[in-house]
Amino acid sequence: MTFECNQCHHKVEFHKSAHSPADEESVPAPQKIHFGLTLKVMIIMIIISLVPFAISWGVFFNKTGNQTRSDTERLMEQTADGLMIHVDEWLDKNIRLLNTIAQLPEIVSMNRAQQEPVLRLIQANYPYMYLVLITNSAGMNTARSDNAALQSYADREYFKKIAQGNDLAWENIIGRTSKKPSVVFSVPIKSDGKFVGVLAAAMTIEQVSANIAKWKKGKTGFAFLVDNNMKVVAHQTKQYETEQKDLSGHPLIQAFKQGKNTATIHFSNENGQRSLGFSKGNKLGWVLAIQQDYSEVFETLREVQFFSLILLLITVILISSVAYLSARSIIKPIRSLTHATERMSLGDIDIKIDVASKDEIGLLAQAIKRMQMSLKIGLNRSRRK
């Protein structure tokens, strides 16, 4: 049968047999939705909400990482500078002392009776100088601060270098008496500009080595000092000091020899652990190095990054949940209207349309209700005929 809508004058055909099973089977079944509005709305909302946050998080994550690395490297460099300043001050103090003593008339006289009182006075005031001695230009001992027999020092490096015209020489040794790491400094003795002898002082370096060997940061951070021959002067491993271990193969020492002593170095330590370090040299060619395992250096950074990741994950879950609930609230009335129109297409024009939305979906619901009302009126008219 055909009837005309009172609202829009649109003609609609309606078949009474719509409720018959045979006709219902002929009506195409609703298509399955594989990528529905719910998912689409969720994705759009997540993108709009999450992308700006994710970008901000990424910028913060990267900036925090870079800033932490920069601060750590700067602190490591400043620490190395501070320790090396202490070393240089100690060295300069003793070198200036020897140069001053070498110019005293009693020393320049090369007279044992005049020299030894001065040498003993030096030793008494500087206890870490366990031996102060003088040799003539041939290397033969002429005076000393202890009561040991005079002997030749012509084969010692610190004598040979002075005899060759150097103004300063030194040699790191293990003291025969103290059995401790020591250094011997020597300077020339000159009379009227002519080389007449050598003043040398053997001294323990505990004042220097203790500060360096005791310096620690965390569980893996430590410092060490090597001389110009790359042999250990101070190290947290005492055996390295007593055997004057050669560390010329250490990555930080190699970096220093290659001129990379102004930047922080990333390397693998003797245990295969990734490490961070800095090396700095002085005018004598001694090198002070600081190192620490990478994992410990950036432990705080990793904790911050982990917290940031957790925060990001929680944010993703919250935004996804809100997006899902919001999408459902939008899609639910559309599904309700779709279901109603499907039932109406099968002849169930009395189905209840319960959508109270006041937005565009509400307008659509009102239009469908009007169409439902027109269908009912048209059906009633056709029945009266």
pLDDT of residue 380: 79
With H, G, I as helix, E, B as strand and everything else as coil, classify residue 230.
coil
Two tokens, residue 272: 């295969």
pLDDT of residue 29: 55
Shared domain for 283 and 247, answered yes or no, is yes
pLDDT of residue 31: 56
d(CA 342, CA 289) in angstroms, rounded, equals 81
Shared domain for 280 and 310, answered yes or no, is no
With H, G, I as helix, E, B as strand and everything else as coil, classify residue 288.
strand
Shared domain for 166 and 194, answered yes or no, is yes
Q: Contact, 187 vs 180, CB < 8 A? A: no
Q: Which of 156, 185, 204 is the last residue of a domain?
A: 204
**What DSSP letter does each residue of 40-106 carry, written as one string?**
HHHHHHHHHHHHHHHHHHHHHHHHHHHHHHHHHHHHHHHHHHHHHHHHHHHHHHHHHHHHHHTTSHH
**In a domain? residue 178:** yes
**In a domain? residue 22:** no
**In a domain? residue 74:** no
Two tokens, residue 78: 């400043």
Among 83, 87, 284, which residue's Cα sits nearest to residue 205? 87
CA 166, distance to chain mean position in Å, is 45
Shared domain for 226 and 246, answered yes or no, is yes
Two tokens, residue 270: 């003797």
Amino acid at 182: S
pLDDT of residue 177: 61
Supply the Cα-derived Rg of the chain in whole angstroms.
Answer: 46
Query: Structural domain tally of the chain?
Result: 3
Print pLDDT tens along the chain (385 aa).
Answer: 454 545 455 454 544 444 444 444 455 555 555 566 677 777 887 787 778 877 887 888 788 878 888 888 888 889 999 999 999 999 999 999 999 999 999 999 999 999 999 999 999 999 989 999 999 999 999 999 998 999 999 999 999 999 999 999 999 887 766 677 889 999 999 999 999 999 999 998 887 788 888 888 888 999 999 999 999 999 988 889 888 899 999 999 998 888 866 668 888 888 888 999 999 999 888 999 999 998 888 887 788 778 878 887 888 888 888 878 877 777 777 778 888 888 887 777 778 877 777 777 778 778 888 887 888 887 777 777 6
pLDDT of residue 20: 42
Among 279, 215, 281, 282, which residue's Cα sits nearest to residue 73? 279
Shared domain for 305 and 288, answered yes or no, is no
pLDDT of residue 18: 42
d(CA 364, CA 143) in angstroms, rounded, equals 115
Q: Which of 270, 297, 324 is the last residue of a domain?
A: 297
Cα–Cα distances in Å, from 256 out to 112, 217, 220, 264, 277?
Answer: 44, 22, 21, 11, 11
Two tokens, residue 215: 């310096």
Shared domain for 119 and 188, answered yes or no, is yes
Query: Which residue range is the domain that position 168 belongs to?
Result: 102-204
Shared domain for 196 and 268, answered yes or no, is no
Q: How many other CB atoms are found less than 10 A from the CB of residue 34?
A: 6
**What DSSP letter does each residue of 127-185 carry, written as one string?**
TTEEEEEEEETTSBEEEESSSPPP-B-TT-HHHHHHHTT-S-EEEEEE-TTT-SEEEEE
CATH of the domain at 231: 3.30.450.20
Q: Which of 158, 175, 204 is the last residue of a domain?
A: 204
Amino acid at 323: A
